[in-house]
Structure 1
Amino acid sequence: MNCAVVTVGDELLAGRTTNTNATWLCARLRERGVRVERVTTVPDRVGDIARVINEYRAEYDAVLVTGGLGPTHDDLTMEGVAAALGRSVEESAEALEWLTAEGGYAREDLASGTADLPKGARALHNEVGVAPGAALAGVYVLPGVPAEMEAMFEAIEDDFSGEAIHREVVVADEPESALLDRLEELQAEFSVTVGSYPGDSVRVSIESGDEEEVAAAADWLRARVAGVEDAE
């Protein structure tokens, strides 16, 4: 399974808010064997949201969208998702019933538009806040508040699964440029994905769905680089 993550918000693009949601989602999806192949941030504009979702729906098994939920003037994500899917936005009886029966809110206390979702969407209930999320046609819409987003994702995480990805990291005390020949040979010898990340030393990440292949590749590299140690 592969997917894309779309984060919505002018505050993210202005640098006023750190995009922790994308990092958290990527890590949790990775743990479930799902490959995240795109992370994109878009402004609070219906056209931008719809255009990116349309593009990614055609390419990936699922699209996760966070941010821009609620009844205020700049909460436009549901409209953007609805536009991408060719749906109208309407009050969700499912969302409204949960908010009043389980959420403990009186209907008259809810701001107008709180329960509005794209027509036909499955409501994703917000156990931590108010604004519901939605799931429809492989698009999952989650809140932008991290605690709300995390709780909502955990309620639907069984929708996301894939082949377990195994990883080992070898740390080499050599310049990255000096390792190029051995990294090329490593990739030729083993069916693994290799990434190198320089710093005070070079961290070489070795990944594959085959745990034994990863272990063999890591052992091969350890025997051929200077000053190595295991790393998480």
Structure 2
Amino acid sequence: MEVALLTVGDELLAGDTENTNASWLGRQLTAAGASVTRVLTIPDDEAVIADAVARYHDAFDAVIVTGGIGGTPDDITKAAVARAFGRDLVVPDDVRAHLEAKAERFADDNPKMVDRYDMDLDLDAWASVPEGGQALLTDESFAAGCVIDRVYVLPGIPEELKAMYETIADEFDGDRTTETIHTPAPEGALVTHITAAREQFEVAVGSYPRKDDAPGRVKITGDDPATVADAAAWLRDRIETE
């Protein structure tokens, strides 16, 4: 299962916010056996988002889009995804009712904040989804995410993203298996063995150098667990390990 990640936000491109969502999703998807084969960061521009979603939808088994799904003027991701599919944004009655009740509970629990600030919530914007899409709702996120034809639209706030991803995690089971070998050896000492393992076992093998006090890593990935295990054992017999 090949998955593409689209992370949306001017703040990501400017370096104001670290793109931890892409790293976290990559780890979750890889652990599930899926293959993340594209990661693209794009601005808060409806045409750019729509174009990327349309292209990646055609090219990959699934696309995950994060960021820009709230109710402020720069939150345009859901409108862009609707545009990519030639659909309108709609506001499901049950989703709006869910968010209205949530807003009322928030007001009851935080009366001083509500009294102090003029909070103008556009519930239709928070509740909207592309026509034909399935809304995704969690306790952690006020905005509704959505799924439409293998495109998953999730929040950009990390804790909200993680909670919403858990509601769809089962849809990303794949066959990819990975084993990691930790080694103190420099990358230059691994080239011959890595090349031979790739050719002999027909697996992907990558090497990653030491970082701070952590050892280097050799990562073996393939579709057959037994073959990956054999390749890892073969490499352990030939390179220094920790």
Counterparts of 1:215-226 in structure 2, within 5 Å, are: 215-225=229-239
Counterparts of 1:21-32 in structure 2, within 5 Å, are: 21-32=21-32
Counterparts of 1:91-110 in structure 2, within 5 Å, are: 91-101=91-101, 103=102, 105=104, 110=121
Q: Is the 2:4–2:56 contact (alpha carbons within 8 Å) kept by the matching residues of 1?
A: yes
Q: Distance in 1 between matches of 2:11 and 2:93?
A: 31
In structure 2, the CA distance between the partners of 1:36 and 1:92, relative to structure 1 (3 Å rule), is same
Q: Aligned letter for 1:134? A: C
Counterparts of 1:1-232 in structure 2, within 5 Å, are: 1-101=1-101, 103=102, 105=104, 110-112=121-123, 113-173=125-185, 175-199=186-210, 202-225=216-239, 228-230=240-242
In structure 2, the CA distance between the partners of 1:158 and 1:223, relative to structure 1 (3 Å rule), is closer
In structure 1, runs of 5+ residues without a counterpart are none
Indicate the SS of the match to 2:23: helix
Question: C-alpha displacement at 1:218, in angstroms?
Answer: 2.1
CA-atom RMSD in angstroms: 2.1
Q: Deviations over 1:135-184 (max 9, x none)?
A: 111111111111111111101212221115131314152x4234322222
Q: Deviations over 1:90-123 (max 9, x none)?
A: 222231132245x3638x9742422122112111
Q: Aligned letter for 1:76? A: I
Higher helix share: 2
Q: Aligned letter for 1:167? A: E
Q: Distance in 1 between matches of 2:184 and 2:194?
A: 12
Q: Distance in 2 between matches of 1:172 and 1:216?
A: 21
In structure 2, runs of 5+ residues without a counterpart are 106-118
Q: Distance in 2 between matches of 1:61 and 1:210?
A: 20
Q: Distance in 2 between matches of 1:217 and 1:192?
A: 8
Deviates more, 1:120-129 or 1:145-154: 120-129
TM-score, structure 1 normalization: 0.89
Q: Distance in 1 between matches of 2:233 and 2:21?
A: 35
TM-score, structure 2 normalization: 0.85
Q: Distance in 2 between matches of 1:30 and 1:62?
A: 14
Q: Is the 1:168–1:214 contact (alpha carbons within 8 Å) kept by the matching residues of 2?
A: no
Q: Distance in 2 between matches of 1:223 and 1:186?
A: 12
Q: Is the 1:62–1:139 contact (alpha carbons within 8 Å) kept by the matching residues of 2?
A: yes
Indicate the SS of the match to 1:105: helix
Q: Distance in 2 between matches of 1:205 and 1:30?
A: 12
Q: Distance in 1 between matches of 2:166 and 2:204?
A: 28
Query: Identity of paired residues, percent?
Result: 42
Q: Is the 1:127–1:152 contact (alpha carbons within 8 Å) kept by the matching residues of 2?
A: no
Q: Deviations over 1:38-85 (max 9, x none)?
A: 111100000110011011000111111110011211001011101101
Q: Is the 2:3–2:63 contact (alpha carbons within 8 Å) kept by the matching residues of 1?
A: yes
Q: How many residues align?
A: 225
Q: Distance in 2 between matches of 1:198 and 1:130?
A: 41
Deviates more, 1:180-189 or 1:41-50: 180-189
